A and B are shown apart, each in its own frame.
Chain A
Amino acid sequence: MSSGRMRRLGAWLSERAGLGLLAERFGCDRRGRAGLEKRLGSAALLLFLVLAGTGALLALHYQPAAEQAQASLRRLDGAVPFGQLVRRGHCWASHLFVLVLGAQLLVRLASRSYRGDGELEWLAGLGVVGLGLGITFTGTVLPWSLEAQAGARVAGSLASEVPWLGSWLRRCVLGDDTLTASTLPRMAALHLALLPAALVLLAAAQALFGWARRSRWVEPARSAAPARTPAERAALWVALLLLLLVMVLLVRPGLGTPGELPLPTPPSARPTWVFAWLHGLLRLTPRSLLGLSGTATIVVGGLGVVGLAALLPFVDRRGSRATIGLACGALASFLGLTAYGLLA
């Protein structure tokens, strides 16, 4: 097909499906407006679509029951045509998804993009990152290996340290006061339906808040920039898909050690890199700190940090440049604790 026909087909599709209108509404049609933050948002959207597609395919074979979960995934890897490929794609897309969400949050913090009535957008963005972490965590429990069970136990214990709501939250996470066979269906329901649905709603709200904010702020100099071509728009997605393909072909994610209760937690029980910083922090924290147990201090401190982050746009209305240092400090702490957590 010639390039002229391709262009006409693209224009037809754009007009009928309203794609051009959407792009114009959400402010990504002009060169220069799509900064790093928006490119990361676009990458997150693509990765979420990959996760939703591969996740739906995996759900056709995965059995969320304690006795069958591990076996169903091993069957998927070994006997189902292209099953392992789809599982690899889902797994590595989830790693990239969290990476992109984290990078987007840091860029927002460093660029102080919450300025100019961006409070709701910032809060929704924080919620999206939290839900992304929740989806990743619940996904790591689904193979129901001994390592996955240990992860769920640790999460339940951390939840129980939340002031006032602790025991209720632990039962929310585990389905009981301790890890039981009923924990797995709960994790599956959270991973497959509840958390992704909440993420879609919150991400849509974030986009809406962003559009409403931009529509109040007119940028005449930038709006005169030439429109991006379809190839320019697609370049990021194509590059990301290629990266994902390389990861899928090169690295096979493990399924952990199969086993049921009451087998002891194996020494290989280490969280994925996404939560390795927390593992490092838990190992580093002393038994008692500030009058509380070390674990309770971490949980209360973590809640405090999230609360401060949520208040940031209300406190720092002008956008202090100190946030650049804050973002660098957060990144350095994350990297240091992650390295320690992986090596400890």
Chain B
Amino acid sequence: MIQDGQDPNARLAPRREMLDYAVSGLAALLGLGALYPVARLLAPLPGPTVRSVSLGPVSAFAAGSARSALFGSRPIVAIRAADGSFRAFGAECTHLGCIVHYVPARDRLECACHGGRFGADGRVLAGPPRRPLESLRIDVVDGEVMVGRA
């Protein structure tokens, strides 16, 4: 009930202020709540991991050559040395992720992007990379070359 001489607006002011706070808080909560699913949708979790991948029969893999394949979604490179032994690495340059290629004449792996050079054992020889190539396990199973996690 409004009494004589009392300003109705002044009486309602605290209620209005509280309503303002409630609405602003709710809007902020809704905005922040929407951010989480958007952030998760923008950056999905990585795909399923792969245990091993086949590179085909040993007989088709010549000595002194290399072969590229996908290990899940990651590119890999396998080298068969002149003595017939195998080595396998993740093919992404450890500098900025370009895909390296094997140069048989120099027996090394090279990155065309920023000049990274790796030995046939994956170690850094030259250029900006700091870490060696990721080493992978390579086996011959029933005459087939299989690459798996080291």
Contacts and interface: CB of A to CB of B under 8 A. Distances in A.
Interface of A: 150, 153-154, 156-158, 168-169, 171-172, 175-180, 182, 261-269, 279, 282-283, 285-288, 293-295
A295 B93 CA distance: 13
B7 to A, nearest CB: 35
A267 B103 CA distance: 13
Given A269-B113, A295-B128, A153 B96 contact: yes
Q: How large is the interface on B (under 10, 10 to 19, 20 to 34, 35 or more residues)?
A: 20 to 34
A135 to B, nearest CB: 17
29 contacts: A150-B99, A153-B92, A153-B97, A153-B99, A154-B97, A156-B97, A157-B96, A168-B39, A169-B43, A171-B42, A171-B44, A176-B73, A177-B46, A179-B73, A179-B97, A180-B47, A261-B75, A261-B99, A262-B70, A262-B99, A263-B99, A264-B99, A265-B111, A267-B112, A269-B112, A282-B128, A283-B115, A283-B128, A285-B128
A66 to B, nearest CB: 11
Interface in B92-138: 92, 95-101, 111-115, 128-130
A283 B114 contact: yes
A264 B114 contact: no
Contacts of B96: 153-154, 157-158, 282, 295
Contacts of B47: 176, 180
B38 to A, nearest CB: 11
A150 B92 CA distance: 10
A265 B130 contact: no
A180 B70 CA distance: 10
Find the residue from B75, B96, B101 having the highest chain A CB count within 10 A. B96
A176 B46 contact: yes
B16 interface: no
Contacts of B46: 171, 176-177
A168 B43 contact: yes
B42 A265 contact: no
B115 A264 contact: no
A286 B96 CA distance: 14
Contact of A150 (B68, B73, B101, B113): B113
Interface majority SS (helix, strand, loop, mixed), chain B = loop
Interface pairs A-B: 5 shortest CB-CB: A264-B101, A262-B75, A171-B43, A153-B97, A157-B96
Contacts of B75: 261-262
Nearest to B100: A264
Contacts, number: 94
B97 A157 contact: yes
B145 interface: no
Given A153-B98, A157-B96, A176-B46, A265 B113 contact: yes
B76 interface: yes
A298 to B, nearest CB: 10
A175 B116 CA distance: 26
Contact of A288 (B68, B95, B101, B130): B130
Interface string B5-36: 00000000000000000000000000000000
Given A262-B91, A264-B100, A172 B43 contact: yes
Contact of B130 (A153, A177, A287): A287
Given A168-B39, A262-B77, A287-B128, 6 more contacts: A154-B96, A179-B97, A180-B73, A264-B68, A264-B77, A279-B114
Contact of A178 (B73, B95, B112, B114): B73
A261 B47 CA distance: 16
Contacts of B77: 262, 264
Nearest to B90: A178
A279 B98 CA distance: 13
A157 B113 CA distance: 13
A269 B113 CA distance: 6
A279 B114 CA distance: 8
A286 B91 CA distance: 22
Interface string B63-99: 0000011100111110000000000000110011111
